[in-house]
Amino acid sequence: MFLVDWLCDLFVSLRRLWQKEAKILFLGLDNAGKTTLLHMLKDERLSQHAPTQLPTSEELSIGRIKFKAFDLGGHRIARRVWKDYYAKVDAVVYMVDAADGGRFDESKTELGALLSDDALAGVPFLVLGNKIDIPQAAPEHALAYYLGLTGCTTGKGTVDLAGTGVRPVEVFMCSVVRKMGYGEGFKWMSQYIN
Please tell me whether 30 is known to bind a ligand: yes
Please tell me whether 131 is known to bind a ligand: yes
Please tell me whether 177 is known to bind a ligand: yes
Please tell me whether 194 is known to bind a ligand: no
| Strands ordered across the beta sheet of 125-130 | 56-62, 65-71, 20-28, 91-97, 125-130, 169-173
Please tell me whether 187 is known to bind a ligand: no
Please tell me whether 35 is known to bind a ligand: yes
Please tell me whether 109 is known to bind a ligand: no
Please tell me whether 3 is known to bind a ligand: no
Please tell me whether 88 is known to bind a ligand: no
Q: Is 25 left (phi over 0), alpha (psi -120 to 50) or beta?
A: beta
Please tell me whether 31 is known to bind a ligand: yes
| Beta strands 91-97; 20-28: pairing state | parallel
Three-class secondary structure of residue 126 per DSSP: strand
Please tell me whether 50 is known to bind a ligand: no
Number of H helices, E strands in the chain: 6, 6
Please tell me whether 158 is known to bind a ligand: no
Q: d(Cα 194, Cα 93) in Å, to the nearest integer? A: 16
Please tell me whether 183 is known to bind a ligand: no
User: Of 40, 142, 109, 193, which Cα lies nearest the Cα of 94?
Assistant: 109
Please tell me whether 97 is known to bind a ligand: no
Please tell me whether 65 is known to bind a ligand: no
Please tell me whether 24 is known to bind a ligand: no
Please tell me whether 132 is known to bind a ligand: yes
Which residues belong to the annotated binding site? 28-36, 52, 74, 130-133, 176-177
Known binding-site residue numbers for Mg(2+) = 30, 35, 52
Which residues contribute to the annotated binding site for GTP? 28-36, 74, 130-133, 176-177
